[in-house]
Amino acid sequence: MKDYNLGFISNIDIYNHVKNTVLQYRRNINLKEFNKNIVDPIKMTFDAKIYGQNIRQAIEAECFRQIDKTNNNRIGYFHQYLFKYAGNGWVVPENGDLGGFDVLNDDLHIYVEMKNKHNTMNSASASDTYVKMQSKILKDDKAVCMLVETIAKKSQNEVWNLTINEKGRKESYSHERIRRVSMDKFYEIVFGDKYAFFKLCKVLPCILDDVVSEDVSAKLSNTVYDELDKTDFYRSLYLLAFKTYEGFENF
């Protein structure tokens, strides 16, 4: 096993965690899956012509867009479940158990909701999360609740100031034990190393190279282009959405 020299997590654990994430990645797409929600051939035509693509490139771009929507959830798994290797009382509950928090430590009275990016919550979602945290600190006078963001606006560990529009009036909320924390600061809390998150990001490409080189199934399989009629791609593309529309049998 290669030495990734992270210090806060063993080589085998980080390798297996990256591998488990890779194996959950969506790595294949076929024509049936491609058109599951009916693609928009008119938009794809605009994209191809405006961005100087041929129709194959436009189709492949749409394939990657669909795959990317699925894989965003897999990245959430990577960030959340890494903390199951932290030890020292850190727990990653399954399926929202233990109060619905993503990561927690009862010994330290820390309860965490994790988000990938600072702008992924709408006002209703933010309000629901804040209310859940308020309830926790009312029940546990030692509890510290954290909204941890992988991609925050800045490196931070500060009071979460939230403004909510309630029946036409803006209400502001804040509490010293309800925090907004960037991922680097949360790694420092968990692992006691303020550079821990940096170290992981620095070595991650190397770990991924090792995982992908070992497991050829981790590479993308895209058969959409091969399954389309090569004699007239535009006809094949438009019939995916408009097969029953008037006149399209003569496209």
Residues 177 and 151 in one domain: yes
Both tokens of 145, joined, read 């609740």
* Domain ranges, residue 132: 89-201
pLDDT of 246 > 80? The answer is yes
Residues 110 and 174 in one domain: yes
Mean pLDDT of 210-235: 80
Whole-model pTM over 0.85: no
Residue 145 domain flag: yes
Q: Residue 218: pLDDT band by 50, 70, 90 thresholds?
A: low
d(CA 209, CA 50): 35
186, 148 in Cβ contact below 8 A? yes
Residues 139 and 173 in one domain: yes
3-51 pLDDT tens trace: 999 999 999 999 999 999 998 888 788 888 888 878 888 988 898 899 8
Residues 114 and 179 in one domain: yes
Query: Could you tell me how far CA 54 lies from the centroid of its own chain?
Result: 30
Across all residues in the chain, what is the average pLDDT?
Answer: 89
- Closest to 130 measured CA to CA, from 179, 93, 166: 179
Mean pLDDT of 223-233: 80
In the block, residue with structure tokens 């090792």: 210
59-81 pLDDT tens trace: 888 888 888 877 888 898 999 99
Residue 124 domain flag: yes
121-149 pLDDT tens trace: 787 888 889 999 999 999 999 999 999 99
Residues 93 and 195 in one domain: yes
Residues 133 and 194 in one domain: yes
Q: Residue 117: pLDDT band by 50, 70, 90 thresholds?
A: confident
Residues 76 and 96 in one domain: no
β-bridge partners, 115: 149
Residue 50 domain flag: yes
Residues 80 and 146 in one domain: no
Residues 247 and 232 in one domain: yes
